[in-house]
């Protein structure tokens, strides 16, 4: 049996009720394979924020996850509007979320910086009108 | 090292029909039906009592101490949970219930409601500390604490690190009796009168290596009729002096009681173990960071809905609320007792993560097992029918990989296998008859 666990999830657009299901599921897998709770927590925060961004800003997308005994790699991609100025977007508190989203408690502009803080490697590929792909790596040791 | 597990929630094998009704409801997937009878996986059970409520044949029960066990002690203290006051109806006031306990044979009654007020004080003090992790999660319900230990290790640091009202009541009453009457500690028996199976477990097998101050746990169900009998014959009870708790302590029996007793902050109250699971999922995602206090109770309608109560929880709620309304009018009960040093009720040690869902100690092997589970699950129909005795197809696949079940426990897999054997037999047979013909 292979010792790489692979998961793929669909992230539906604008559906807040199931946004976060993928990261919850990954959290359970990591606990089952015995990853330390603080690392599980960092991973699920990073993944959750990226998932929510795909829902709110990217018209939905997909998540691809690969887990081996050293690390987890999470790739969240969407075919949405892309990010014009990534450096600006990364700043704490910067958000283009409309009021309607903010009223629901999202859009504080902390997502990308939280992902950065909680991952070991973060890479973002984005192009206006083409979409955004977020690569998150968290090491287990 | 073999770990010792005590559980109050147990199965009465003679009553179990193996109907599989209970398996899907258990919040930790702790129940399997094997050889036609339910089995509880000890490591996983949190004594939430849900299966007791679900079982149509009353085959699940909560073990408590027999009423006679109070006779083992010279001096007997009763600690009635505030839920007890909701069981009897409008004619039976708290004063009558408390004096009935004395008539029953207890030498001293210490209301758990009184201790609940002290815990409320201690909680306010604790919450004033700006360093603590928010939301603070109530630790009064032992089933929830155990649930967090198993499922939400990241929330362990959010638990309110203060002893439960039951434990505080036990410690204080023992001390009071010892000081007031000079009764030696070993002659004092402290008995909690409980709506709750999880409390029994937390007394008999406390978290980690702590020691409970409670000597025995009696169920409200068992003591209900004796108390009612006494109260029916009860004369005038007003002569007896009472130091009863205020409304705040009594309201702890009702959901929202604990959280609204705290004066400040954004507080939410959630009850029913599956709703508790949902709110804790929100908490781990960081969605509750703007909440100060989270009251979480495993039973629907909180302790009033505990598995050891007699009265319907909604009726009990009316009874309790009437009692609370009466107290509120009485100024004397309104003052919250400020206990001298709330710090003494803080937890001396924390509770630990119990990674019982882990597939293997070796992560490499755990990953392989995870993949095996995926493959096996894919081979099943995905109906989650429960006929195999596991709560879902995936749970059966997990059991198979853990070595606790086999693929043909699935009735569809069994049918496939039987069909293929039948087919093989048929082939052998026709081959045989062919050779017969050739004779
Ligand atoms: N997947 C995405 N597609 C398009 N824009 C995005 C995406 N993710 C983030 N952004 C942009 O970056 C900004 C900052 O993101 P973030 O830090 O998560 O804050 P928030 O989501 O609260 O607005 C967003 O407001 C949005 O303009
Ligand atoms: S619900 Fe569970 S305990 Fe009750 S009879 Fe059915 S299998 Fe047995
Ligand atoms: S008491 Fe709760 S945790 Fe234990 S077996 Fe029953 S439903 Fe499951
Ligand atoms: Mg965001």
Q: Are residues B116 and B22 in the same domain?
A: no
Looking up residue A82, the CATH number of its domain turns out to be 3.30.565.10
Pocket test for ligand 1, best of A19, A77, A112 (most atoms within 8 A of CB): A112
DSSP secondary structure string for all residues of A8-49: EEEE-TT-TTTTTHHHHHHHHHHHHTT--HHHHHHHHHHHHH
Q: Are residues B96 and B163 in the same domain?
A: yes
Chain B positions in Cβ-Cβ contact with residue A67 (cut-off 8 Å) = 367
Q: State the pLDDT at residue B1.
A: 34
Residue B240 lies in a domain: yes
Q: State the pLDDT at residue B436.
A: 58
Residue B3 lies in a domain: no
Q: Does residue B17 line the site of ligand 2, with CB under 6 A?
A: yes
Q: Tally the domains of chain B.
A: 3
What's the DSSP call for residue A60? Answer: -
pLDDT tens-digit series, residues B21-63: 999 999 999 999 999 999 999 999 999 999 999 999 999 999 9
Contacting A residues, span 25-84, partner chain B, CB-CB under 8 Å: 27-29, 31-35, 37-38, 40-41, 44-45, 48, 67-69
What stretches of A33-139 show up as alpha helix (H) in DSSP? 37-56, 86-90, 99-103, 111-118
Average pLDDT over residues B387-415: 95
Q: Are residues B202 and B179 in the same domain?
A: yes
Instruction: Tally Cβ neighbours within 10 Å of residue B43.
Output: 13
Q: Are residues B188 and B318 in the same domain?
A: yes
Task: Give residue B182's region: left, alpha or beta (phi > 0; psi -120 to 50).
Answer: left
Specify burial of residue B2 (Cβ count, 10 A radius: 0-12, 13-18, 19+): exposed
Non-local CB neighbours of B71 within 8 Å, separated by 6+ positions:
none
Q: Are residues B75 and B211 in the same domain?
A: yes
Which structure tokens are listed for A20? 């976060």
Q: Are residues B127 and B155 in the same domain?
A: yes
Q: Does residue A79 line the site of ligand 1, with CB under 6 A?
A: no
Q: Percent of chain B at pLDDT above 90?
A: 72
Q: State the pLDDT at residue B125.
A: 85
Q: How far is CA B298 from CA A26, B121, B382, B395, in A?
A: 25, 23, 29, 23
Residue B331 lies in a domain: yes
pTM reported for the whole predicted model: 0.90
- What φ, ψ does residue B364 adopt, rounded to 5°? -60, -50
Q: Are residues B140 and B186 in the same domain?
A: yes
Residue B174 lies in a domain: yes
Contact: B153, A67; criterion CB under 8 Å = no
Q: State the pLDDT at residue B258.
A: 87
pLDDT tens-digit series, residues B61-99: 999 999 999 999 999 999 999 999 999 998 898 989 999
Residue B395 lies in a domain: yes
Q: Are residues B413 and B388 in the same domain?
A: yes
Average pLDDT over residues B419-424: 91
Q: Are residues B132 and B236 in the same domain?
A: yes
Q: Which residues pair with A8 in a beta bridge?
A: A64
Does A100 reach chain B within 8 Å, measured CB to CB? Answer: no
Test mutation, A7, A30, A37, A46, chain B, max B CBs within 10 A: A37
pLDDT tens-digit series, residues A49-67: 999 999 999 999 999 999 9
Which of B62, B89, B105 finishes a domain? Answer: B62
Q: Are residues B279 and B405 in the same domain?
A: no
Least confident segment among A22-26, B238-242, B260-264? B238-242
Q: Are residues B100 and B169 in the same domain?
A: yes
Average pLDDT over residues A86-100: 91
Looking up residue B433, the CATH number of its domain turns out to be 1.10.15.40
Q: Tally the domains of chain A.
A: 1
Q: State the pLDDT at residue B437.
A: 56
Looking at CA atoms only, how far is residue A82 from chain B in angstroms?
Answer: 25
Instruction: Tally Cβ neighbours within 10 Å of residue B29.
Output: 19
* Beta strands B75-80; B31-34: pairing state: unpaired
Residue A97 is part of which domain span?
A: 5-139
Q: State the pLDDT at residue A19.
A: 79
Q: State the pLDDT at residue B435.
A: 61
Cα of B48 vs centre of ligand 3, distance in Å, is 5
Q: pLDDT tier at B331 (50, 70, 90 boundaries)?
A: very low
Residue B125 is part of which domain span?
A: 67-345
Q: Are residues B302 and B419 in the same domain?
A: no
How far is it, in rounded angstroms, from Cα B257 to Cα B119? Answer: 12
Cα of A63 vs centre of ligand 1, distance in Å, is 17
Looking up residue B17, the CATH number of its domain turns out to be 3.30.70.20
């Amino acid at each position: 049996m292979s010792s790489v666990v692979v998961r793929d999830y669909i992230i539906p657009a604008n559906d807040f009720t199931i946004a976060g299901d993928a990261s919850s599921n990954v959290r359970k897998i990591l606990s089952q394979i015995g990853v330390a709770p603080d690392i599980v927590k960092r991973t699920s925060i990073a993944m959750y924020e990226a998932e929510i961004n795909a829902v709110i800003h990217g018209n939905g997308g997909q998540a691809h996850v690969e887990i081996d005994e050293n690390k987890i790699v999470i790739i969240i991609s969407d075919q949405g509007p892309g990010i014009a100025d990534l450096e600006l977007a990364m700043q704490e508190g910067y958000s283009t979320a409309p009021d309607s989203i903010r009223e629901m408690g999202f859009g504080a502009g902390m997502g990308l910086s939280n992902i950065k803080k909680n991952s070991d490697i973060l890479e973002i590929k984005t192009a206006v009108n083409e979409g955004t792909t977020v690569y998150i790596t968290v090491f287990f040791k | 090292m073999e770990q010792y597990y005590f559980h109050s929630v147990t199965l009465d094998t003679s009553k179990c029909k193996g109907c599989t009704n209970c398996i899907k409801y258990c919040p930790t997937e702790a129940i399997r039906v094997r050889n036609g009878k339910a089995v509880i996986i000890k490591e996983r059970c949190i004594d939430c009592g849900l299966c007791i409520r679900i079982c149509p044949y009353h085959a699940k029960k909560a073990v408590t101490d027999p009423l006679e066990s109070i006779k083992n002690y010279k001096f007997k203290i009763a600690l009635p949970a505030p839920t007890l006051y909701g069981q009897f109806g409008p004619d039976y006031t708290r004063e009558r219930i408390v004096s009935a306990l004395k008539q029953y044979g207890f030498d001293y009654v210490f209301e758990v409601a009184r201790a609940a007020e002290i815990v409320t004080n201690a909680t306010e003090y604790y919450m004033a500390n700006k360093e603590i992790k928010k939301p603070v999660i109530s630790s009064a319900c032992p089933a929830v604490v155990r649930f967090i230990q198993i499922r939400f290790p990241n929330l362990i640091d959010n638990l309110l690190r203060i002893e439960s009202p039951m434990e505080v009541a036990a410690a204080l009453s023992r001390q009071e009796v010892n000081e007031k009457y000079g009764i030696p500690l070993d002659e004092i028996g402290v008995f909690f009168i409980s709506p709750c199976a999880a409390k029994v477990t937390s007394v008999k097998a406390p978290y980690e290596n702590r020691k409970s101050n409670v000597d025995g746990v009696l169920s409200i169900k068992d003591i209900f009729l004796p108390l009612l009998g006494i109260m029916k014959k009860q004369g005038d009870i007003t002569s007896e002096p009472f130091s009863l708790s205020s409304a705040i302590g009594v309201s702890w029996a009702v959901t929202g009681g604990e959280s609204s007793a705290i004066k400040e902050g954004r507080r939410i109250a959630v009850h029913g173990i599956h709703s508790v699971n949902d709110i804790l999922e929100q908490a781990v995602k960081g969605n509750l960071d703007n909440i100060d206090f989270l009251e979480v109770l495993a039973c629907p309608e909180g302790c009033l809905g505990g598995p050891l109560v007699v009265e319907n929880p909604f009726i009990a709620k009316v009874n309790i609320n009437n009692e609370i309304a009466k107290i509120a009018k009485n100024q004397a009960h309104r003052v919250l007792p400020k206990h001298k040093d709330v710090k003494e009720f803080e937890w001396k040690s924390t509770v630990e993560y119990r990674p019982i869902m882990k597939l293997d100690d070796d992560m490499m092997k755990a990953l392989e097992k995870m993949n095996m589970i995926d493959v096996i699950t894919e081979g099943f129909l995905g109906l989650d029918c429960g006929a195999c005795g596991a709560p879902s197809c995936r749970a059966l696949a997990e059991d198979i990989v853990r070595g606790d079940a086999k693929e043909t426990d699935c009735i569809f897999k069994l049918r496939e296998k039987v069909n293929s054997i039948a087919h093989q037999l048929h082939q052998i047979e026709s081959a045989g008859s062919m050779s017969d013909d050739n004779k």
